[in-house]
Structure 1
Amino acid sequence: MLLIFWLSIFSPGIFTQAVPEYPELVFIEGGSFSLGDSLGDADEKPVHNVRVSNFYFGKTEVTLAQFQEFIQTSGYQTDAERGEGSYCWGPLGWNQKSGVCWRHDEKGDLRPVTAAAFPVLHVSWQDAAQYCNWLSLQQNLALAYRFQGDSVLIDPAAAGYRLPTEAEWEYAAKAGGTFPYAGSARLHAVGWYAGNAQKGAHPVGQKAANAFGVFDCSGNVWEWCQDWYDATAYAAATDTLNPRGPHAGSARVVRGGSWSNNPAHCRASNRSSRFPDARDCNLGFRVARNGK
């Protein structure tokens, strides 16, 4: 009986709690705002005004249950499953573990059924983009991504799901305010970070939302964005309407900080990056779509 109970709790593929089948979206009315932070890191400067059009933005980060639906329906194998696993957190710090994938937690242990509402971890940029394409197919929407071998073509006008641009992400996180974090001057109120997370991510939507009704943009897990990363991008910026970042690069933008980070990394303006095939125990994503 004890063995059966253990298997029912820790076997993969059973994240079936009451979590929306597809990510919930918040409609964000476009507008102008100041991208960057004059008091932030060098790559956040210079602060400059940009304008984003209407768009839809994930209310929360994509959950385990939602990502599992994609895997079970499509048969897709993630980069972690095809490769050498993912980076986990343990007593000796960060370490790469073979066999670790989206089903696992920060330490590399299988998630229990009660983790359905936790953000999915250990997913690469490519995995996130493939998930977006799958969502588009479920709703007969034009695909935003076309994969050709190791390269990907992005259609910015496509009606389908995609990752948010860096400008959209910051606009949604700031929600028209000037707070350092996503909707508050107090990180503890809106995010899970190194000071309160107890060394792990938490179920999505547990902290306060910002003025746009968006959760967890500060902390919990880093979030993939669509743009290539360039530390000097703001200094060279010429596009003021719907900027999409550099045309090429080696790393993609990640935003928001995570459960393992200090407050500075969880600021709404903070920028960081990962290689597109990177997967970590503090890295997830949320989805976006063009608005009308």
Structure 2
Amino acid sequence: MLPSKFWRRTALRKAESVWMSSRTPGANNLHWQVESQTPWEEDGGSPAGFPVPVVTFNPYALGVWAQTVAGLGGTQIAGYSFTKTSSRLALLPSIPSFEDFIATTSPTARRLAALMAAVPVQLPIARLIQQTMLPQSDTTHLAEVFLSGILRRENDCDDPERRLYRFVGEMRKNLLDSIPRSEALRAIDRISAYVARRAGLSIQDFRALLMFPSERGKGEFGLEIDAFGRVAVEVLKYLGGELAAFAEELEGNVVAAAMAAHGEVSSPEPTLKTFSFDVATLVVVETQVFTFDVATLERRRGVKGSAGGWVIQRQKQEATGIIEVLEGDVPLELMEIPGGTFMMGSSEDEPRRFESESPQHEVRVPPFYLGRFPVTQAQWRVVAGWEKVERELDPDPSHFKEPYEEYDRLSRPVEQVSWYDAVEFCARLSRETGWEYRLPSEAEWEYACRSVISHQSSVISESSENPAYPPFHFGEMISTEVANYHGNYTYGEGEKGEYREQTTPVGYFQVANGFGLYDMHGNVWEWCADPWHENYEGAPNDGSVWQSSYKNTTKVRRGGSWFNGPGYCRSAYRDYYYPDSRSYNFGFRVARSAPRTP
């Protein structure tokens, strides 16, 4: 199954190229006739070697192969002959130099080997690196690495999927020198989450086992966990910097555990105690710059614009985010929400406001990530197929199951999901990725919706004791040309618009707010983590979830929906519903805590 250019990298390199044929149907290879320059038989006429035919998977070659096996004379097939001497020589592998490896492999294979050098070498791990970090590679590039001679077996595990390999000589260090340090750290982070999942451990438990090695908790995947610890020590020490001290501490723990396991250290029977501790891990968060259009509605008296007396102004902006690939080609995009301070709630002169939006109060929100879009039906279907944490999930709960215009229906937001369903979705996502996913707090949601430290800073009234933010991130007005809500109703001096009577695909209007977030007004209600409170009296000012002493209380939802008029889609509007309720306008988007930056 390998291309012919790789044949000579296998044991075939020590065999002789021959032609062979057979006149007996179904004859054993030993009885085939072989044409060779070398004498083929020894004393007594017994064969001196073993002929191995080579067949490629194309119609002509398979036809010749079939005729040869059928014993039809006159057909020949190419192959190789292994003699006793060549078989022994084939077991004596040559060790290539780093320069030889670079000179004889493709650039993609070289990069794959360099990424593999940062982690234990095992077939499933190599494939994972291909899928997540080098998608342009294929099985041919994997064959280039494994057939290059730079790897040796580390164990004799019968299962090839669990067999471990090591790099020969200084090859690992040479390969690590060929890629940026951040790439090596990213590979370590990806593979640590993978090994933890295979062992049935949380990422925190896995890291604790690395720092404090013990046979307890490793289960059947102790081999992979130990290998990860050994390689991590070697790689982190070589990368140096602030990671070297961590690697030395990790190495000391690994050595001590190994000595204790082999009885080389005698110690009195320990007294078992339970300790609580924090495990800090340095990870590389790969970010991406997103470009998007920000829309504002500006009043143009006497000018006929796209929204009657209001004109939609668009401008290009950029913001940073991350992409979590859930499965296959289904991504989950999150925008980086910078930390900042804002006034939560509505001012007393905002049209259609409610007392539950008072009193306005200053809130400082730490940095976090928030879904670029509401969770889609495609994303829901993937995560609903993962193993449950607390409760089962319907893989296809949505009411709207038809395509919308030229858009696939899976690009619509998922709806008919309860608050409990959304929490389960986040729990599965957290377990699978190793990151903490959750519903946003009510303060985080409003802060992100307003994007007040971005393009809207110019429309905030600085003179008032309580700053007057506009009702929408579009400004003072909203239009059905930029959001999906009940267009038969109006807000302020706005005009009626289209009532679509259904959800629209996420990002359908191709306009975002200053943080790069789409569909914050309308489309589907979005669950927040907070229980409902009648107003903001006593609310926290740090952006955290405002907890309640009551169990199973109603939960906050924000943003309005396709079914609601524009007044319910305002940034400050608050609503609530029972956590087990589902409706064809209930959806959500996920938040993720930002890692601390050293």
TM normalised by structure 1 equals 0.74
1:169 to 2:445 alignment = yes
- 1:184 touches 1:190 (CA, 8 Å); kept in 2? no
The AA in structure 1 aligned to 2:521 is S
Q: What SS class does the counterpart of residue 364 from structure 2 fall into?
A: strand
- 2:398 touches 2:584 (CA, 8 Å); kept in 1? no
Q: What SS class does the counterpart of residue 408 from structure 2 fall into?
A: helix
The AA in structure 2 aligned to 1:123 is V
Measured after TM superposition, the shift of residue 168 of structure 1 is 0.3
User: Following the alignment from structure 2 to structure 1, what is the Cα–Cα distance between the partners of residues 500 and 356?
Assistant: 29
The AA in structure 1 aligned to 2:512 is A
Deviations 1:170-211 (A, max 9, x none): 000000133311343332254210003411110001221001
Measured after TM superposition, the shift of residue 136 of structure 1 is 1.1
- 1:63 touches 1:204 (CA, 8 Å); kept in 2? yes
User: Following the alignment from structure 1 to structure 2, what is the Cα–Cα distance between the partners of residues 169 and 275?
Assistant: 19
- 1:65 touches 1:117 (CA, 8 Å); kept in 2? yes
Q: Where in structure 1 do 4 or more consecutive aligned residues deviate above 6 Å? A: none
Q: Counterpart in 2 of 1:192? A: 484
Aligned-residue CA RMSD in angstroms? 2.2
Structure 1 unaligned residues grouped into runs of 5+: 1-17, 82-99, 142-159
- 1:101 touches 1:123 (CA, 8 Å); kept in 2? no
Q: What SS class does the counterpart of residue 528 from structure 2 fall into?
A: strand
User: Following the alignment from structure 2 to structure 1, what is the Cα–Cα distance between the partners of residues 413 and 566?
Assistant: 20
What does 1:122-271 correspond to in 2, within 5 Å?
122-141=416-435, 160-176=436-452, 177=456, 178-188=469-479, 189-195=481-487, 196-207=498-509, 208-232=511-535, 234-237=536-539, 239-249=540-550, 250-271=553-574
User: Following the alignment from structure 1 to structure 2, what is the Cα–Cα distance between the partners of residues 225 and 135?
Assistant: 17
User: Following the alignment from structure 1 to structure 2, what is the Cα–Cα distance between the partners of residues 179 and 77?
Assistant: 41
Measured after TM superposition, the shift of residue 259 of structure 1 is 0.2
User: Following the alignment from structure 1 to structure 2, what is the Cα–Cα distance between the partners of residues 132 and 102?
Assistant: 17
Measured after TM superposition, the shift of residue 19 of structure 1 is 10
Q: What SS class does the counterpart of residue 445 from structure 2 fall into?
A: helix
Deviations 1:18-59 (A, max 9, x none): 996242100010110010002321100011111100000110
Relative distance call for 1:69 and 1:271 in structure 2 (3 A) is same
Which of 335, 346, 362 aligns to 1:37? It is 346
- 2:438 touches 2:590 (CA, 8 Å); kept in 1? yes
Measured after TM superposition, the shift of residue 70 of structure 1 is 1.3
Q: Which has the higher helix share?
A: 2
Deviations 1:98-134 (A, max 9, x none): xx961432xxxx4459201000010001100111111
Q: Counterpart in 1 of 2:361? A: 48
Q: What SS class does the counterpart of residue 187 from structure 1 fall into?
A: coil
Q: Counterpart in 2 of 1:104? A: 399
Q: What SS class does the counterpart of residue 225 from structure 1 fall into?
A: strand
Relative distance call for 1:197 and 1:276 in structure 2 (3 A) is same
User: Following the alignment from structure 1 to structure 2, what is the Cα–Cα distance between the partners of residues 213 and 183?
Assistant: 13
Deviations 1:229-277 (A, max 9, x none): 1113x1222x211232132441010000000101110000000001110
Which of 77, 101, 112 aligns to 2:392? It is 77
Q: What SS class does the counterpart of residue 486 from structure 2 fall into?
A: coil
Which of 414, 422, 441 aligns to 1:120? It is 414
What does 1:18-37 correspond to in 2, within 5 Å?
21-37=330-346
- 1:221 touches 1:256 (CA, 8 Å); kept in 2? yes
User: Following the alignment from structure 1 to structure 2, what is the Cα–Cα distance between the partners of residues 255 and 43?
Assistant: 13
Q: What SS class does the counterpart of residue 49 from structure 1 fall into?
A: strand
User: Following the alignment from structure 1 to structure 2, what is the Cα–Cα distance between the partners of residues 213 and 19?
Assistant: 24
Q: What SS class does the counterpart of residue 382 from structure 2 fall into?
A: helix
Deviations 1:60-117 (A, max 9, x none): 0000000001122336633xx6xxxxxxxxxxxxxxxxxx961432xxxx44592010
- 2:402 touches 2:409 (CA, 8 Å); kept in 1? yes
- 1:183 touches 1:209 (CA, 8 Å); kept in 2? no
Q: What SS class does the counterpart of residue 24 from structure 1 fall into?
A: strand
Relative distance call for 1:130 and 1:262 in structure 2 (3 A) is same
Bigger shift: residues 206-215 or 242-251 = 242-251
User: Following the alignment from structure 1 to structure 2, what is the Cα–Cα distance between the partners of residues 260 and 19?
Assistant: 33
The AA in structure 2 aligned to 1:200 is Q
Q: Which has the larger radius of gyration?
A: 2
The AA in structure 2 aligned to 1:137 is R
TM normalised by structure 2 equals 0.37
